[in-house]
Amino acid sequence: MIQQITLWLQSISPDVLTKALRVTLTILLGLFVVRVLAVVTQRFIMRKSTPQRQMIARKVISYAGFFLVLMGVLSELGLKLTAILGAAGIVGIAVGFASQTSVSNIISGLFLISEKPFGVGDVIRMGATTGIIQSIDLLSIKIRTFDNLFVRIPNEKILTSEVTNITRFPIRRMDIVFQVDYDQDLNKVHDLLARIARDNPWSLDEPVPVIVLSDFKESGIEILLGMWFAKTDFMDLKNSIMKDMVSSFAAEGVRFAHPNRLVKIVEGSAATS
Amino acid sequence: MQKTGIAVWDQVEIAQRQCAAWRFPLRSIWVERIESEWHALSLSEPGNRSEARSMFIPRTQKPTSSQWRHYLHRESGLVQPTPVLPDRPMVVRPDRALTLLPGQSTIFFLEIPVWFRLSTIGPRALRIFEEPLCVLTRTWFGDPVTGELCWGLAARLHHSIDSVEPSAWTAVCPLMIENDSDTDLDFEKICLHVENLSIFRGTLRLWANSLNVIFKGPDQATQIEIVHTPPGFEQGLTLVSAARQPSAGWNIRKTFGMLKYFTDF
């Protein structure tokens, strides 16, 4: 076996061996340099940039670097780059026609990167999907939902759909809509809600919480309590305010409305007779 | 160790298996040293209105709670309690409506509740923990897009230091305000970047850096100067805690909350 390999190596001309060595070195050295450049750019040069910009810079360097390495290897192999590029252009047009959706996604991706409706780390809602953006790539964005599912959404779909960026602004308002019985003292309910919002440590006291008697409903009066909070405090506020409302309402004798029906039996009607 | 008033901020040697307590109005802090661990507990005590005091207590009297936190640290038992200012800007709402007429200036004394910081003393001084001594509300200063998260405080604006009760858990911040505009300056609220201020210790009070505030008009940013020397209202002040984020010279910030932002329906 070893003898066969030795014979095979002896049969290869020194030129071919040198070329093979140079190609291998170009690949290894090129990939190493690209990797180092990407890491240095991300960790040192763009240390203070947003994660999204770091990711874009890393990908631009990686793609450009790989392309240059490929060109270098082809050049080492003695292939004429002009012919390859010309052929690549023709092939590109053919592939482009054959893959319009992918091209559309790439162009949408470029628009998304330039428009910046969201960035890596933002929480977005699109249709029934809500999650944290993990990466924004040329073809799609990848998000992780709160129940730890990986969701890939094509860029074209994002560009043509309504997307809500939940964490774009530093504070948000949480609206809680509920109903109380018609016989409740609404001034008392209003004061109680104001106190609950004021005493809650997660609810901001400025902007002032909103309390609106919003509608007459079938079973009670609908009330909206809107409290502002720092975007990171959603869960704390949601859980604490629900508990505070139930306990304070019970302590003050305020009743939530429940669906009810009043049935009247009229004397002398066909049913009673 | 049985100290009251400003002396509660003196350094303390806590021996092995010894428990120290710092009692402030509204909050009490217990610290116990067991081998290479510091055990700390902070409890809100709304009913406790007595003067600040510190003492050693028998371990049998320490509160039973699941909120004890353990910090691993192998230094000696010498610790330094330090008053520090809150970690975020503070929006102060005066207790009464005040208007400073154009061209006028005035001085106010603000009482800012401090936080309790416990650090070890030694070759490597390390912070063990920090606790607010007063529960402050969370508030937002500015518009919902570019404003900043702050602590909220309803406070009395004292015109004279004599009306400020000596306290070991509040720092007095002298605030000199000049209305250098053609409009009335209504104090609805004022945003102070307390993270830029240091605390100095006097004989009865804690002091923060003096602030010179020049109001140029509702459409222009307010100029604020931090006076880095100790306030001149008491002699012999010593620096006890440096600013969290030291800031030099003049700052220009939107200080007065005069604009109403459309945040409702």
The pLDDT tens digits of the residues spanning B45-80 come to: 776 667 788 889 888 888 888 889 998 876 677 889
pTM (predicted TM-score): 0.73
Tell me which chain B residue has its CA closest to the CA of residue A210: B264
Q: A163 falls in which pLDDT band (50, 70, 90)?
A: very high
Contact A172, A228 (CB under 8 A): yes
With a cut of 80, say whether residue B171 has pLDDT above it: yes
Contacts of B147 in chain A (CB under 8 A): 170-171
Domain boundaries, chain A: 2-98, 112-165, 171-252
Helix (H, G, I), strand (E, B) or coil at B162: helix
Tell me which chain B residue has its CA closest to the CA of residue A198: B137
A246 touching B, CB under 8 A? no
A163 touching B, CB under 8 A? no
A228 touching B, CB under 8 A? yes
Contact residues, B window 91-110, toward A, CB-based 8 Å cutoff: 91
3-class secondary structure for chain A?
Answer: CHHHHHHHHHHCCHHHHHHHHHHHHHHHHHHHHHHHHHHHHHHHHCCCCCHHHHHHHHHHHHHHHHHHHHHHHHHHCCCCHHHHHHHHHHHHHHHHHHCHHHHHHHHHHHHHHHHCCCCCCCEEEECCEEEEEEEECCCEEEEEECCCCEEEEEHHHHHCCCCEECCCCCEEEEEEEEEECCCCCHHHHHHHHHHHHHHCCCCCCCCCCEEEEEEECCCCEEEEEEEEEEHHHHHHHHHHHHHHHHHHHHHHCCCECCCCCCCCCCCCCCCCC
B258 touching A, CB under 8 A? no
CATH entry 3.90.1170.50 includes domain A171-252: no
Contact A102, A139 (CB under 8 A): yes
Tell me which chain B residue has its CA closest to the CA of residue A226: B264
pLDDT at site A8:
78
d(CA A41, CA A57): 7
The torsion angles phi and psi of A131, rounded to 5 degrees, stand at: -175, 180
The CA distance from A172 to the nearest CA of chain B, in Å, is: 8
Binary contact (B263, A205; C-beta < 8 A)? no
Tell which wins on pLDDT, A9 or B18. Answer: B18
Closest residue to B264, CB basis, from A171, A203, A210: A210
| Average pLDDT value for residue range B187-199 | 88
pLDDT at site B102:
92
List all residues 6 or more positions away from A114 whose beta carbon is below 8 Å from its beta carbon: none
| Average pLDDT value for residue range B136-161 | 90
The CA distance from B1 to the nearest CA of chain A, in Å, is: 35
Least confident of A17-21, A104-108, B88-92: A104-108
B265 touching A, CB under 8 A? yes
Contacts of A201 in chain B (CB under 8 A): 135, 137-138
A212 touching B, CB under 8 A? yes
Helix (H, G, I), strand (E, B) or coil at B78: strand
With a cut of 60, say whether residue B139 has pLDDT above it: yes
Task: Look up the ipTM and state it.
Answer: 0.77
With a cut of 60, say whether residue A167 has pLDDT above it: yes
Contacts of A203 in chain B (CB under 8 A): 138
Least confident of A47-61, A238-252, B121-135: A47-61
pLDDT at site B257:
58
Mean pLDDT computed over every residue of chain A? 86
pLDDT at site B263:
32
Contact B214, B100 (CB under 8 A): no
Tell which wins on pLDDT, A123 or B126. Answer: A123
Cis ω before B94 (30° cut-off from 0): no
Binary contact (B263, A207; C-beta < 8 A)? yes
How many pairs of residues across A and B have Cβ atoms under 8 Å apart?
Answer: 47
Tell which wins on pLDDT, A106 or A234. Answer: A234
DSSP 8-state class, residue B213: E
Tell me which chain B residue has its CA closest to the CA of residue A173: B263
CATH entry 2.30.30.60 includes domain A112-165: yes
